[in-house]
Amino acid sequence: MSLPFEALIVGAGHAGAHTAIFLRQHGHVGSIAIIGDEPELPYERPPLSKDYLGGTKSFDRLLLRPAEFWTDNAIAMLPGRRVETIDPRSQTVTCADGSCYSYVNLIWAAGGRPRSLPCPGGDLAGVHQIRSRADVDAIATELAQARDICVIGGGYIGLEAAAVLTKLGKRVTLLEAMDRVLARVAGDELSRFYEREHRAHGVDLRLNARVRELIGKSGRVAGVLLDEGEVLPAEMVIVGIGILPNLEPLAAAGARCRDGVEVDEFCRTSLPNIYAVGDCARHTNTFAQEGTRIRLESVQNASDQANCVAKAIVGRPERYSATPWFWSDQYDLRLQTAGLSAGYDEVVIRGDQAARKFSVIYLRGGRFQAIDCVNNAKDFVAGKRLVATRATVSADRLADTETPLKALIPPAVDGQFIEQDATARQGVS
């Protein structure tokens, strides 16, 4: 075994790559390595269910940084290796291939893996998921042979896939087990809007649909059997029912875990010199309902937590308090969201849904909590500020499209995020 890496990052996704980038940006001069189990250099995941699935963006345009970047910045890439065990006492990790690395700081950025369908037939050929480049390449090779495609799960990934596949001329059925799509992340109004859009584009969208079994024909999926007994034809099934955080090696090493690796406001785990960031990190988010610890699956969170860890490692710690934001592209609809809507007690619709340009604003206790903007970048930009400042705004004014949202940002805190900065400073002593 060689010298320990000053910063050893596990997972070469958004969070892992950005941790290395931010470490160098913040002046870290020590050695950095990234171990990743995928063969590729770090790439963007969002296009996997958008342009890359649609075939309109080639893989080389998804790379987060070109190959030279990593060598030029002395970031050692160790791809194609899977970390299996961690020994916090000797500060070493061991990979499936037997290779072993030691660390001064370990950053766990292992993301999550798709939940598999808990029913018979879930492992038939032709059943896919969308998490990695390999997943989408596998879909692409079978796409020409598939006319009827069944997408299981009405979250963002399922809906984006349905939109792309419809555009490619496939007959798409989308099955959602709940009584509305996007139930986990958005309010009723937005769910209904997207349901209408998908139906208008020809998707056979079924709510309250429970899958009993995937029917195979000589090892390949041929249909989906629903609980009520109906069989839907499907030469391909795409399962998008959420992810499970990758945390087993850390949990086995003794790190506190519970649907995610538990981290504090500096992304530190319960083990010394081990941090966790990105999709796998369960943290207290100041934008979630009070006291709620969550995992946040977004590029924003991956990048901002990476920044938080990098600052902690270079000795300038700042509490994690970044405003959550997210986007999703379906058909010609660009959704941009800011804040976290869960727990809202009032909803305001701003703009005209029929014109396909509007926003849904979520309030709690009169405070601006979150916003979902459809084809409405102006509201997104101002809404993000309103989320950050936690402004108290009347519903009537929010609904009035004659009043720009920007005019409702409290002037004293515009751009300064006073509340956040105050908490950020407290933590650093």
Binding site for another protein (CB under 8 A): 21, 24-25, 44, 46-47, 50-51, 61-62, 64-66, 68-69, 72-73, 299-300, 303, 325, 327, 329, 334, 336, 377-378, 380-381, 384-385, 406, 415
Q: Which of 141, 165, 333 is nearest to 238 (CA)?
A: 165
| Cβ–Cβ under 8 Å, residues 388 and 370 | no
| Shortest reach from residue 303's CB to another protein, in Å | 6
| Cβ–Cβ under 8 Å, residues 336 and 325 | yes
Point out which residues pair with 35 in neighbouring strands. 10, 78
Among ligand FAD, another protein, none, what does residue 223 contact (CB within 5–8 Å per kind)? none
**Radius of gyration of the chain measured on its C-alpha atoms:** 22
The tokens for 364 are: 């709690």
Among ligand FAD, another protein, none, what does residue 303 contact (CB within 5–8 Å per kind)? another protein
| Cβ–Cβ under 8 Å, residues 320 and 15 | no
Sign for the CA dihedral angle at 208, 213, 217, 221 comes to positive
The tokens for 205 are: 């969208």
Single out the residue of 7, 8, 9, 12 in contact with ligand FAD (rule: CB under 6 A).
12
Q: Of the listed pieces 177-185, 188-196, 225-233, 321-329, which binds ligand FAD according to CB under 6 A?
A: 321-329
Site string for ligand FAD, 56-95 (x = CB under 6 A): --------------------------xx------------
Q: Per CB under 6 A, which of residues 42..61 are in contact with ligand FAD?
A: 45-46, 48-49
Site string for ligand FAD, 115-154 (x = CB under 6 A): ---------------xx-----------------------
The residue whose two tokens read 């996007």 is 182
Q: Which of 64, 109, 127 is nearest to 245 (CA)?
A: 109
Among another protein, ligand FAD, none, what does residue 398 contact (CB within 5–8 Å per kind)? none
Between 20 and 117, whose beta carbon lies closer to another protein? 20
Point out which residues pair with 237 in neighbouring strands. 127, 150
Examine residue 307 and tell whether it contacts ligand FAD (CB under 6 A): no
